Amino acid sequence: MTQYLTDDDGKPEMKRLLEGVIVAMKLSTDWDDFKVKLDQLYPKFGSTLQLPFDPVKSLPAR
């Protein structure tokens, strides 16, 4: 796969991508946490980003 990457653009970009993935791996506590971090750093093209909302525990009754 890497044989088709150019030395000027492709290989340095691949190196930056892999370094970012490794950082996400090191900062994650488990697989699900890793997937969330990876989606934040490198979202899939055309996908909807997750918003960082805290879950609503309970609203007071009026």
The residue behind tokens 């007071």 is 60
Residue 61 lies in a domain: no
* DSSP codes of every residue in 6-51: -TTTHHHHHHHHHHHHHHHHHH-SSHHHHHHHHHHHSPPTTPPPPP
Instruction: Give the structural domain span for 40.
Output: 18-44
Distance CA 20, CA 39 (A): 12
> What is the pLDDT tens value at each position of the chain, 62 positions in all?
667 888 888 889 889 999 999 999 999 999 999 999 998 888 887 776 666 677 666 666 66
Residue 24 lies in a domain: yes
Give the pLDDT score at 5.
81
Distance CA 59, CA 12 (A): 50
Residue 23 lies in a domain: yes
Give the pLDDT score at 19.
95
Residue 4 lies in a domain: no
